[in-house]
Structure 1
Protein backbone atom coordinates (compact mmCIF):
# COMPACT_ATOMS: atom_id res chain seq x y z
CA UNK A 1 0.00 0.00 0.00
CA UNK A 2 1.20 3.51 -0.72
CA UNK A 3 1.49 6.21 1.88
CA UNK A 4 -1.57 7.19 3.86
CA UNK A 5 -3.28 10.39 2.70
CA UNK A 6 -3.30 13.41 4.97
CA UNK A 7 -6.52 13.12 6.96
CA UNK A 8 -8.21 16.15 8.44
CA UNK A 9 -11.47 16.57 10.32
CA UNK A 10 -14.12 19.20 9.72
CA UNK A 11 -17.73 19.78 10.65
CA UNK A 12 -19.93 19.39 7.58
CA UNK A 13 -21.56 22.74 8.42
CA UNK A 14 -18.27 24.58 7.89
CA UNK A 15 -17.72 26.02 4.43
CA UNK A 16 -16.10 23.86 1.78
CA UNK A 17 -12.52 24.76 0.96
CA UNK A 18 -10.35 23.53 -1.95
CA UNK A 19 -7.77 22.58 0.70
CA UNK A 20 -10.22 19.95 1.97
CA UNK A 21 -9.31 17.61 -0.86
CA UNK A 22 -11.60 14.58 -1.08
CA UNK A 23 -14.52 15.06 1.34
CA UNK A 24 -16.15 12.04 2.96
CA UNK A 25 -19.17 12.20 5.25
CA UNK A 26 -18.60 9.62 7.99
CA UNK A 27 -21.97 9.74 9.79
CA UNK A 28 -24.74 7.14 9.55
CA UNK A 29 -27.42 9.85 9.48
CA UNK A 30 -27.63 12.72 7.01
CA UNK A 31 -26.86 16.08 8.71
CA UNK A 32 -29.98 18.04 9.61
CA UNK A 33 -30.93 21.00 7.47
CA UNK A 34 -28.18 20.48 4.91
CA UNK A 35 -28.62 19.89 1.20
CA UNK A 36 -26.27 17.71 -0.82
CA UNK A 37 -24.94 20.83 -2.51
CA UNK A 38 -24.22 22.53 0.82
CA UNK A 39 -22.48 19.44 2.16
CA UNK A 40 -20.15 19.39 -0.85
CA UNK A 41 -19.11 15.80 -0.23
CA UNK A 42 -17.49 13.41 -2.65
CA UNK A 43 -18.61 10.30 -0.80
CA UNK A 44 -20.82 9.20 2.09
CA UNK A 45 -19.32 6.25 3.97
CA UNK A 46 -21.88 5.22 6.60
CA UNK A 47 -20.03 1.99 7.37
CA UNK A 48 -17.11 3.84 8.98
CA UNK A 49 -19.45 5.42 11.54
CA UNK A 50 -20.18 3.69 14.85
CA UNK A 51 -22.99 1.17 14.77
CA UNK A 52 -26.45 2.52 15.52
CA UNK A 53 -26.43 0.70 18.85
CA UNK A 54 -23.11 2.23 19.92
CA UNK A 55 -24.13 5.69 18.73
CA UNK A 56 -27.38 5.54 20.69
CA UNK A 57 -25.59 4.25 23.80
CA UNK A 58 -23.01 7.06 23.68
CA UNK A 59 -25.54 9.79 22.84
CA UNK A 60 -22.64 12.30 22.78
CA UNK A 61 -22.22 12.09 26.56
CA UNK A 62 -18.66 13.30 27.36
CA UNK A 63 -18.68 11.18 30.52
CA UNK A 64 -18.90 8.06 28.34
CA UNK A 65 -16.13 9.21 25.97
CA UNK A 66 -13.40 6.84 27.21
CA UNK A 67 -15.66 3.77 27.05
CA UNK A 68 -17.12 4.88 23.72
CA UNK A 69 -13.63 5.35 22.26
CA UNK A 70 -12.59 1.84 23.25
CA UNK A 71 -15.81 0.26 21.94
CA UNK A 72 -15.65 2.15 18.64
CA UNK A 73 -11.95 1.30 18.15
CA UNK A 74 -12.86 -2.35 18.71
CA UNK A 75 -15.67 -2.10 16.11
CA UNK A 76 -13.28 -0.60 13.57
CA UNK A 77 -10.66 -3.24 14.26
CA UNK A 78 -13.13 -6.13 14.00
CA UNK A 79 -14.72 -4.98 10.74
CA UNK A 80 -11.39 -4.32 8.99
CA UNK A 81 -13.11 -1.55 7.01
CA UNK A 82 -10.17 0.79 7.60
CA UNK A 83 -7.77 -1.18 5.44
CA UNK A 84 -10.31 -1.38 2.63
CA UNK A 85 -10.98 2.34 2.98
CA UNK A 86 -7.29 3.22 2.73
CA UNK A 87 -6.80 0.91 -0.24
CA UNK A 88 -9.75 2.52 -2.08
CA UNK A 89 -8.40 6.01 -1.38
CA UNK A 90 -4.67 5.43 -1.72
CA UNK A 91 -4.46 7.89 -4.62
CA UNK A 92 -5.92 10.76 -2.60
CA UNK A 93 -3.38 13.23 -1.21
CA UNK A 94 -5.78 14.75 1.31
CA UNK A 95 -9.02 13.44 2.76
CA UNK A 96 -11.36 15.46 4.93
CA UNK A 97 -13.63 13.40 7.15
CA UNK A 98 -16.74 15.51 7.63
CA UNK A 99 -19.26 15.00 10.38
CA UNK A 100 -22.24 16.74 11.98
CA UNK A 101 -21.50 16.47 15.73
CA UNK A 102 -21.45 19.77 17.62
CA UNK A 103 -18.94 18.57 20.22
CA UNK A 104 -15.67 18.56 18.32
CA UNK A 105 -13.72 17.08 21.25
CA UNK A 106 -15.98 14.05 21.78
CA UNK A 107 -16.94 12.80 18.32
CA UNK A 108 -16.22 9.57 16.50
CA UNK A 109 -14.15 11.04 13.63
CA UNK A 110 -11.34 11.73 16.13
CA UNK A 111 -11.10 8.01 16.83
CA UNK A 112 -11.59 7.11 13.17
CA UNK A 113 -8.70 9.38 12.14
CA UNK A 114 -6.41 7.87 14.81
CA UNK A 115 -7.41 4.39 13.74
CA UNK A 116 -6.78 5.02 10.03
CA UNK A 117 -3.42 6.63 10.76
CA UNK A 118 -2.43 3.62 12.87
CA UNK A 119 -2.84 1.19 9.96
Structure 2
Protein backbone atom coordinates (compact mmCIF):
# COMPACT_ATOMS: atom_id res chain seq x y z
CA UNK A 1 0.00 0.00 0.00
CA UNK A 2 2.78 2.48 0.80
CA UNK A 3 4.44 1.62 -2.51
CA UNK A 4 1.24 2.63 -4.35
CA UNK A 5 1.06 5.92 -2.46
CA UNK A 6 4.71 6.68 -3.22
CA UNK A 7 4.17 5.88 -6.93
CA UNK A 8 1.05 8.04 -7.06
CA UNK A 9 2.84 10.94 -5.37
CA UNK A 10 5.82 10.66 -7.74
CA UNK A 11 3.49 10.52 -10.74
CA UNK A 12 1.71 13.66 -9.54
CA UNK A 13 5.04 15.50 -8.91
CA UNK A 14 6.31 14.53 -12.37
CA UNK A 15 3.07 15.68 -14.01
CA UNK A 16 3.35 19.05 -12.27
CA UNK A 17 7.01 19.69 -13.13
CA UNK A 18 7.44 18.03 -16.52
CA UNK A 19 7.68 20.23 -19.64
CA UNK A 20 4.55 21.14 -21.56
CA UNK A 21 3.26 19.10 -24.48
CA UNK A 22 2.52 22.09 -26.72
CA UNK A 23 -1.16 21.23 -27.18
CA UNK A 24 -2.28 24.72 -26.23
CA UNK A 25 0.02 26.32 -28.80
CA UNK A 26 -1.22 24.08 -31.59
CA UNK A 27 -4.71 25.65 -31.47
CA UNK A 28 -3.41 29.22 -31.46
CA UNK A 29 -2.17 29.15 -35.09
CA UNK A 30 -4.49 27.22 -37.39
CA UNK A 31 -2.86 25.53 -40.39
CA UNK A 32 -4.43 26.55 -43.73
CA UNK A 33 -6.16 23.76 -45.58
CA UNK A 34 -4.82 22.37 -48.85
CA UNK A 35 -7.31 24.39 -50.92
CA UNK A 36 -6.16 27.67 -49.31
CA UNK A 37 -2.48 27.10 -50.14
CA UNK A 38 -1.01 28.62 -53.27
CA UNK A 39 -0.43 26.18 -56.09
CA UNK A 40 3.17 25.11 -56.59
CA UNK A 41 5.06 25.99 -59.76
CA UNK A 42 5.63 23.16 -62.21
CA UNK A 43 9.00 21.45 -61.91
CA UNK A 44 10.19 22.52 -65.36
CA UNK A 45 9.91 26.27 -64.62
CA UNK A 46 11.21 26.13 -61.05
CA UNK A 47 14.53 27.90 -60.47
CA UNK A 48 17.33 25.56 -59.53
CA UNK A 49 20.46 26.37 -57.66
CA UNK A 50 23.76 25.79 -59.42
CA UNK A 51 25.70 22.69 -58.47
CA UNK A 52 28.07 23.18 -55.55
CA UNK A 53 31.69 23.56 -56.61
CA UNK A 54 34.55 23.49 -54.19
CA UNK A 55 37.23 26.16 -54.77
CA UNK A 56 39.85 23.48 -54.12
CA UNK A 57 38.69 21.48 -57.11
CA UNK A 58 39.33 24.21 -59.68
CA UNK A 59 41.84 23.32 -62.36
CA UNK A 60 43.03 26.86 -63.02
CA UNK A 61 46.38 27.96 -61.63
CA UNK A 62 46.30 30.84 -59.15
CA UNK A 63 48.47 33.84 -59.97
CA UNK A 64 50.67 34.63 -56.98
CA UNK A 65 51.47 38.14 -58.21
CA UNK A 66 47.79 39.10 -58.29
CA UNK A 67 47.15 38.28 -54.64
CA UNK A 68 48.57 40.08 -51.62
CA UNK A 69 49.99 37.41 -49.33
CA UNK A 70 51.83 39.74 -46.95
CA UNK A 71 50.43 42.64 -45.00
CA UNK A 72 51.64 46.05 -46.23
CA UNK A 73 52.73 47.19 -42.76
CA UNK A 74 55.03 44.17 -42.55
CA UNK A 75 56.73 45.09 -45.83
CA UNK A 76 57.22 48.70 -44.64
CA UNK A 77 58.68 47.47 -41.34
CA UNK A 78 61.12 45.16 -43.14
CA UNK A 79 62.27 47.99 -45.42
CA UNK A 80 62.81 50.28 -42.44
CA UNK A 81 64.72 47.56 -40.63
CA UNK A 82 66.92 46.94 -43.71
CA UNK A 83 67.80 50.66 -43.89
CA UNK A 84 68.68 50.66 -40.19
CA UNK A 85 70.83 47.52 -40.58
CA UNK A 86 72.71 49.05 -43.54
CA UNK A 87 73.44 52.23 -41.53
CA UNK A 88 74.65 50.18 -38.55
CA UNK A 89 76.89 48.07 -40.79
CA UNK A 90 78.35 51.24 -42.36
CA UNK A 91 79.18 52.63 -38.89
CA UNK A 92 80.91 49.36 -37.98
CA UNK A 93 82.98 49.44 -41.17
CA UNK A 94 83.97 53.05 -40.56
CA UNK A 95 85.05 52.24 -36.99
CA UNK A 96 87.05 49.24 -38.21
CA UNK A 97 88.87 51.29 -40.88
CA UNK A 98 89.65 54.10 -38.42
CA UNK A 99 90.93 51.64 -35.81
CA UNK A 100 93.01 49.60 -38.26
CA UNK A 101 94.55 52.39 -40.32
CA UNK A 102 94.80 55.39 -37.98
CA UNK A 103 94.66 53.89 -34.48
CA UNK A 104 91.50 55.82 -33.64
CA UNK A 105 89.23 53.91 -31.27
CA UNK A 106 85.55 54.90 -31.53
CA UNK A 107 84.44 52.39 -28.91
CA UNK A 108 83.28 54.37 -25.89
CA UNK A 109 81.53 51.67 -23.93
CA UNK A 110 84.11 51.85 -21.11
CA UNK A 111 83.24 54.95 -19.09
CA UNK A 112 86.26 57.07 -18.12
CA UNK A 113 88.66 55.36 -20.53
CA UNK A 114 89.09 58.45 -22.72
CA UNK A 115 91.68 60.03 -20.42
CA UNK A 116 93.80 56.89 -19.92
CA UNK A 117 96.95 56.80 -22.09
CA UNK A 118 97.43 53.67 -24.15
Please say whether Structure 1 and Structure 2 have the same fold, judged by a TM-score greater than 0.5. Answer: no
The structure with higher relative contact order (CA 8 Å, sep 6+) is: 1
TM-score (norm 2): 0.16
Larger Rg: 2
The structure with the greater share of residues assigned to helix is 2
The structure with the greater share of residues assigned to strand is 1
TM-score (norm 1): 0.16
